[in-house]
């Protein structure tokens, strides 16, 4: 489910990081990659001197930060790479709406990554800085979210990601985040198909309604998080800027198509979940109607039987008048009455059957 987190900054506080002092309980981990088409240097958890060193000419640097960085680390990033204080404030205040902004010589992009959990979908913030020769990504959790991109970098100089510049690396990160939506939707599609098959059985389980509601909540949360990302990618394609070359915009257009496709599937699956909800309620109503029909038939059958036995249950003295139920004195009155009752039941059941009432 979408995580409605509280912002760190209080109303009226100064913008930026100057008012922040608390450090996270668990410090963020850094991963540094410096690469060209021919060479690659990868350092897990580099020391401060290494990641604050200037980027050599012709080298693309990717500094990946996993976890929640504290104000101290963010201030050092600002001093080293010239990042804007307002952008870093959005990094530390997770739960931001997806957006794209230009600060001096940097692009700042906020994206939301949908991650499928055991019971719900988590929405995690990913912040990306794109500079002239550097990309800085900050993922709020310790998950190896960008390991597929690191694997592509390790393959060698034949791949496009090693040949092209940091703008293509930024595109690769965005494309991975966008395509994560397909993983969530594929799993949701399988759940909806299974639910539909279970609802078409004679006795659907009561827990299905809770599962349908959970899927609907997930779809609403994911759509709320991903909808602004379409505008972010569109701005990267449309706005002219030397940091994003034309050759990379071609790939971003494909990324935009994926984003539109995901949003269309979200709307479709949300409608399917609503349809399954209505189907579940209809199945319950149908089941109730079947029960009421059986009870009504039983009650209808016993109406004439109750009338007959109630009639012969009246206390008339047959010795005072020959009209006081003379059939009570017949030799076979009791068996005849049973035959009459059975005949009434059989006749009514035959009539109901011909009317297709059961």
For each of the chain's 358 residues, which pLDDT tens digit applies? 444 444 555 555 555 555 555 566 567 888 888 888 888 888 888 888 888 888 888 888 899 988 888 888 888 888 888 888 888 888 888 778 888 888 878 889 999 888 877 777 888 889 999 988 899 999 877 677 888 888 888 887 667 888 888 889 999 999 999 998 888 888 888 888 888 887 777 666 777 778 888 888 888 888 888 888 888 888 888 877 778 888 888 889 889 999 999 899 888 888 888 888 888 888 778 788 888 988 888 899 999 989 888 888 887 777 777 777 877 777 888 888 889 889 999 898 888 888 887 7
Q: CA 321, CA 313: separation in Å to the nearest integer?
A: 17
Side-chain half-sphere exposure of 308, counting CA atoms within 13 A:
16
Q: If you search the block for the tokens 């080293």, which residue do you land on?
A: 80
The pLDDT of residue 2: 42
The pLDDT of residue 173: 93
The pLDDT of residue 71: 83
The pLDDT of residue 165: 84
Q: If you search the block for the tokens 């504290």, which residue do you land on?
A: 70
Contact call for residues 166 and 130 (beta carbons, < 8 A): yes
pTM of the model: 0.77
Instruction: Please name which of 135, 64, 126, 128 lies closest in space to residue 95, comparing C-alpha atoms.
Output: 126
The pLDDT of residue 136: 92
The pLDDT of residue 4: 45
The pLDDT of residue 128: 92
Cβ-proximal residues to 349 (8 Å cutoff; 6+ apart), any chain? 301
Q: CA 230, CA 263: separation in Å to the nearest integer?
A: 9
């Amino acid at each position: 489910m979408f995580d409605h987190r509280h912002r760190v900054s209080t109303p009226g506080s100064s913008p930026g990081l100057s008012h922040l002092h608390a450090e996270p309980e668990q410090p963020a981990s850094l991963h540094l990659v410096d690469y060209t088409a021919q060479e690659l240097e990868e350092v897990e958890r580099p020391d401060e001197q290494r990641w604050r060193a200037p980027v050599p000419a012709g080298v693309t640097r990717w500094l990946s930060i996993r976890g929640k960085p504290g104000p101290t680390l963010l201030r050092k990033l600002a001093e080293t790479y010239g990042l804007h204080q307002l952008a870093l404030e959005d990094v530390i205040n997770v739960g931001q709406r997806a957006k794209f902004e230009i600060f001096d010589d940097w692009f700042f992009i906020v994206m939301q990554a949908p991650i499928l959990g055991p019971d719900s979908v988590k929405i995690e913030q990913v912040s990306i800085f794109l500079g002239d020769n550097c990309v800085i990504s900050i993922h709020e959790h310790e998950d190896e979210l960008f390991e597929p991109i690191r694997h592509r970098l390790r393959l060698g100089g034949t791949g496009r990601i090693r040949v092209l510049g940091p703008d293509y690396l930024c595109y690769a990160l965005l494309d991975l985040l966008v395509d994560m939506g397909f993983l969530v939707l594929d799993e949701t599609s399988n759940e909806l198909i299974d639910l539909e098959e279970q609802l078409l059985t004679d006795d659907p389980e009561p827990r299905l309604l809770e599962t349908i509601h959970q899927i609907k909540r997930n779809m609403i949360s994911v759509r709320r998080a991903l909808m602004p990302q379409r505008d972010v990618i569109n701005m990267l394609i449309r706005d002219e800027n030397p940091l994003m070359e034309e050759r990379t915009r071609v790939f971003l257009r494909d990324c935009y198509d994926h984003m539109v496709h995901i949003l269309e599937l979200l709307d479709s699956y949300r409608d399917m979940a609503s349809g399954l909800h209505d189907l579940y309620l209809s199945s319950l109503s149908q089941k109730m109607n079947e029960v009421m029909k059986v009870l009504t038939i039983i009650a209808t059958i016993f109406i004439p039987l109750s009338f007959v036995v109630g009639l012969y249950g009246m206390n008339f003295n047959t010795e005072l008048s020959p009209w006081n139920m003379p059939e009570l004195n017949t030799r076979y009155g009791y068996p005849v009455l049973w035959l009459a009752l059975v005949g009434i039941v059989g006749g009514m059941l035959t009539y109901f059957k011909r009317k297709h009432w059961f």
